[in-house]
Structures are given as structure tokens and as C-alpha cells.
Amino acid sequence: MASVSSLDKDLAKLRLGKYTVQASNEAKSWIESTLGEQLPADDLMDALHDGTVLCRLANKLVPNSTKPKKSEMPFVQMENIAMFLKVCQDVLKLSQHDLFLTVDLYDFKDPAQVLQTIGAFSRIAHSRNPSAFPTAIGPKASVISPSATGKSKPPVPAKTAISSWSKPVDELTTAPAWNIHQYGYMGGASQGTQGVVLGARRQITTAAPHVPSLREKEERRKQHEEEIDARAAEEERERQRQEEANWLRKEELQRKRQTEREQASRAQRDLELQERDAAEQEKIRLREEAHALREEEDAKRKEYEERLQAERAAQDRREYQEEANRFRALNQEHAAVSSESDRIKELERQLEEAKAREKAYLEKQQPSQKSNTRTVIPPNDAEERAALRSAWQENQSRPVPPKPTSKPAFTHSARAAQRQRELQDEDDAAEAPRKSPGPPATPPRSTTPATSKTSPLASTRWGFKGASSKPIGGGMSVVQREMELERQRQKEWERNQEQLQEDRKLMTDKEIKEGGEMPWDIHQYGYMGGANQGTERVAFGARRQIIGPKGQK
């Protein structure tokens, strides 16, 4: 049985059969000698795959005709191949059967057609520019030899007329009216041309079908395996190219993204630097404004302090002047008071001398013998009254010290001076000799019993508990009597205070609560006695009786 095969596969096999290693090496050697450098790959198809070598050949023949791009991207490489084909077609005017398609080189579909295009390019380049292209690929072009089939006839001369070739003579002088391959063509094979003899037996079948031999089968198997291996290798190379293209695409995308990120970060950094500079400038401006404001405030404060200091100095001067005036007035007053006290002391001294003279006179009048019943001669009231009257008149006749225009302020110094004067007066009065009055005696020619004189404190409001009823001598002056009464009152008050302190130490809290005698006066400051909630029976929480009779106590 006859074998069945695909026409496309057979044609592809025939095309691949024309691509030989010898032809590939010849084309590679011509390209290397023309460019003056070695190709990067050992295989010619791999070296021409990106199209840059072909574009360099075209630029060497026609300068600046192409602009190749070195890239691993598939569409860029195919664009380089297309630019070379465009130069060959538009500039070099290569025929269509000498040009290959882009897929023939990029996808390795027809390497023989690529070799044919390179050979045609080399011949045209050598003819146009022998100095740049000194050699060419393949022999020179010649007339195509006639087919080996058919009759052996001389070359047909140039035919100008057209006929139907109805006569055999027309075939030599005219061109056919239609294509010999057109349907209805009547020329060609016939019984006469094919050697058909009428009456002979026709052989329409062969003796037996063609059976391939073992060698043919082995060759076919090997060829089939080689095709499978070649296809697998081609697929592997295609997969690697796709992976490489994808990797390059990812790398390009990552590089682009990295560049964008760097630009964004650089822009952000520049923006931050600008903002930082603006913030620093703003801080400097605010600091300068604050410094200027602080200096202005310091100047105002300094001016205010200077003005305040000047005012205080003026105020101090005024106060010092006023204090000096006041002190001067106080000194004048003190001098006036001192002069008055000196006059009083002088009067008292004169009075004491008069009393001493009177006492000496009385002692001279008394008998020398002493008895148990002593009689005291009362002083002469007329003389005492006369002495007091003369002293009073002398005191009244003296000029009164001038009254100050304004009452001086009662300062600490004035208070101390007044207290010092009071103490000095008391000391002077205490140092004065006190004369005890004589024993009470009955005046002569008196029919009534003699009564003892009582103290004037008994009938006054200055009486205190335990006050002495000792009479004060009638011979004392009014000033001395008042001073003596004041001393007695002070001593009585001190004794009462000492007694209260002793009572307070002896009494307990229970005795105080039970109603004992309080250790201080109820009118004294700090008295804690009197009505309270305990004595008045006031209970918290109970209803308070605000009307009606008063509660029991």
C-alpha cells in the first residue's frame, strides 16, 4: 500500500533540505569579513535573530537608512528585521522571491529563504559598492536552463504576436493566447508527444505496490526522531526566549518602579528639606521677634523701674523730711514735757524740804520723854493749803507749751518714747522718799471719839478685792496721790492675775465642768464658760422645741 504524507510537511522538508551547513558558514564568513568582526553566536540564525547585524549591513551600503535598537524585547527585534527588509525592497529593489518574511528568520520557519536573501543582497551590494563589499555569495547570475522535459528545441526567439497555436508553426513565432497552466489549455501532452501508439496494449498498473525496505524505514524513523528533537529544541529555545523576555520585562518594570520610587523619595526629601528650611526660618523669625519684644519689654521695664526708683527716692526724701519734722516736733514736745516734769520734781523737792523742816520743828516741840500713848499733832492744814495754793498758782502762771499743728503719727518710736517717759516717771516717784503719816491722834478739846480715816479707794470705783485701807498721807501732793493710787491698782491687778494662774493650775477640767469657780473673769478675753449645748440639753437629731414652755435645766 502506498504511504500517505502531508504536502506542507513535504514542502517544509524540501525547504529545510536546502539549508545546509556549508551555505550557512559561507554566509557567516561573508558577513564577518564585511563587518570586520566576529558574530556573537556560532549559529548564523542565532546571530541574525535580533536584526541588528542585518541593519548594520544595510547602513554600510546605504548610510543612515536604519536605526537599530539593541533590546531583548521581541517586538523590537522584529522591528529591526522589518527595517532591513524595507531597505532591500525599497532601495535595493530585490524581487519578491528573493525576500524572506520576518517570521522566517525570527521563528526559524525558512532558513533557506534567509540565505537566499543574504546572497541576493551581497550581489547587489558588491555591484554598487565594491570597495565596501569586495566579495559576493554564490556564482554570478546566469540564464536559467530549460527544463529537461519535453522536446529539445532551440531557444525561442522573442515573441511579439499572440495566437491560439492552432498550427504547429505558430508555436515558434507567437506567444500563446492564454497561460499554459490555465484551465482549457489545449497544448501540452498528446498521444503524439507522449509516444502513444494506437493498437498497442496500454500499461495502466504496475506489477506490484512499492514496499519500503528496512533501510528506508530506518531512515524515515531517524528522520522523524530528528524532526521531533528539532521541534522540541525549537520549543525549548522559544520557551527560554519567552522566559528571558518576561524576565527582562519584569526587570525593566522593576527598574522603572525603582526609578519612580527614587524620584518620589527624592521629591519627598526635597519637600521635607524645604519645609524644614521654612520651619527654621520661621523659628529664626519668631526668635528674632521674641528677642525684639523682650528687649522692648526690658527697655520698658527698665524705664518703669527707673521712674519707680525716682518716685521712691522722691517719696523717701519726702518721708525722711516728714520723719525729720515729726522727730523734731517730738523732740520739742519731749523737751516741753521734760521741762514740765522737771518743774514738778522741783516743786515736790521743795515740798519735801518744807515737810522736813516742819517735821524738824515738830520734833523740837515734842517732849523728850516717850510714853506708850503717843499723841501726834496733826499738821497745820492752813500751812499745807497755803503751800499747795502757792505751788498751784506758780504752775498755772507758767506758759503752756504750744500745741503742735498736726497730731504726729503714733509710730513705734513715739510709743517707745512715751512708754520710756512713763517708766521714768514711775521710777522717779518710787525713788522719792515716802513719809509715813503720823499716828492718829485725837484733836484737843474734842468731845467725840476720834475716828480713823479710811482710804479714798473705798468709796471709788477703783476698789479691788483685798485693797489696802491704809490712808494716804494728807501731806502728799495731788500728783503724788494719783501716782500712788495707780501703783496700788497695778499691784492689785498683778496679784489677782497671779492668784488666777495658781487657781488654774490647781483646778481640774471636771471641777470646771461641775460649776466650780472659774480661773478667770467671765468678762475676760478667752472665757469659755457660759451656756453651751451640754448645759442647755441640746441633742442632735431630736426635734427642737421652739414654742411652748422652756425646757428644764
Q: What per-residue confidence (pLDDT) applies to 285?
A: 92
State mean pLDDT over 300-312. Answer: 89
Angle at the Cα of 483 from the Cα atoms of 421 and 376, rounded to 5 degrees: 140
pLDDT at 314 over 80: yes
How far apart are the C-alpha atoms of 88 and 124, rounded to whole Å?
10
Contact (CB, 8 A) for 53 and 39 = yes
> What is the 8-class DSSP label of residue 208?
S
Distance of CA 302 to the CA centre of its chain: 36
Lowest mean pLDDT among 205-219, 364-378, 402-416, 441-455: 441-455
| Residues 57/31, Cβ–Cβ less than 8 Å | yes
DSSP count for the chain of H helices, then E strands: 14, 2
Average confidence (pLDDT) over 438-453:
43
Give yes or no for residue 344 having a pLDDT over 90.
no
Mean per-residue pLDDT for 425-436? 54
Helix (H) or strand (E) segment spanning residue 162: strand 161-163
- Whole-angstrom Cα distance, residue 378 to residue 385? 14
pLDDT at position 358 over 90:
no
8-57 pLDDT tens trace: 777 777 777 778 888 888 999 999 999 888 888 788 888 888 999 999 99
Closest CA to 432 of 390, 463, 387, 477: 477
Work out the angle between the directed axes of helices 214-365 and 381-397 (0-180°, nearest 10): 130
pLDDT single digits (tens) 137-169: 876 554 444 444 444 445 545 545 666 666 777
CA distance 30 to 279: 71
Candidate from 51-60, 254-263, 334-343, 367-376 with smallest mean pLDDT: 367-376
Q: Regarding predicted confidence, which is higher, 219 or 181?
A: 219
Helix (H, G, I), strand (E, B) or coil at 175: strand
Answer positive or negative: Cα dihedral of 340, 345, 349, 351: positive
Beta bridge partners of 54: none
Residue 533 or 36, more confident: 36
pLDDT at 398 over 60: no
DSSP-assigned letters across all residues of 249-274 = HHHHHHHHHHHHHHHHHHHHHHHHHH
Confidence of residue 321 (pLDDT cuts 50, 70, 90): confident
pLDDT attached to residue 407: 46
Query: Quick one: average pLDDT of 288-304?
Result: 91
Residue found by looking up cell 508555436 in the block: 171
Q: Report pLDDT for 410.
A: 43
Beta-carbon count within 10 A of 57 CB: 24
Each residue's pLDDT tens digit, 510-523: 565 555 555 555 66
Average confidence score pLDDT of the chain: 74
- Cα separation, 316 vs 309, in Å, equals 10
CA distance 340 to 344: 6
Domains located in the chain, CATH noted? 12-128 (1.10.418.10)
The whole-angstrom separation of Cα 112 and Cα 18 is 6
User: Are the C-beta atoms of residues 176 and 159 closer than 8 Å to each other?
Assistant: no
- Please report the pLDDT score of residue 460 as a whole number: 41
In the numeric block, the cell 532558513 is attached to 111
Q: What is the pLDDT of residues 185-203, one digit of tens each?
A: 656 656 665 666 666 665 5
Give 458's DSSP letter. Answer: G
CA atoms within 13 A on the CB side of 527: 13
Q: Which residues have C-beta within 8 Å of that of residue 544, sequence separation ≥ 6?
A: 538
Q: What's the one-letter identity of residue 163?
A: S
Which segment, 23-32, 423-432, 454-463, is predicted with the most confidence on average? 23-32
Give strand pairing partners of 175: 162
Sign of torsion, CA 507 511 515 516?
A: negative
Kindly tell me the sign of the dihedral angle through the C-alpha atoms of 77, 62, 135, 16: positive
Q: Which residues contact 193 (CB under 8 A, 6 or more apart)?
A: 151
Whether residue 440 is predicted with pLDDT greater than 50 in this model: the reply is no
Q: Are 493 and 480 in contact (CB under 8 A)?
A: no
Mean pLDDT of 476-487: 83
Residue pLDDT, tens place only, 54-71 = 999 999 999 988 988 888
The answer on pLDDT for 431 being more than 80 is no
CA pair distance 345, 429, nearest whole angstrom: 9
Residue 14 sits at φ, ψ, to 5 deg, of -65, -40
Report pLDDT for 213: 81
User: What value, to the nearest 5°, has the Cα angle with vertex 413 and ends 408 and 418?
Assistant: 80
Helix segments in 19-68, DSSP class H: 21-35, 44-47, 52-61
First to last CA, the chain: 155
Q: How confident is the model at residue 406 (pLDDT cuts 50, 70, 90)?
A: very low
**Residue in the structure block whose three cell numbers are 524572506:** 100
Q: Could you tell me what percentage of the chain is helix, strand and coil, using 3-state DSSP and rounding each to the nearest 5?
A: 60, 0, 40
Q: How deeply is 226 buried, as exposed, middle or buried, from its count of CB atoms within 10 A (0-12, 13-18, 19+)?
A: exposed
Q: Which distant-in-sequence residues (6+ apart) come within 8 Å of 529 by Cβ?
A: 512, 518, 522
As a whole number of angstroms, the distance between CA 471 and CA 473 comes to 6
The residue with greater pLDDT, 292 or 192, is: 292
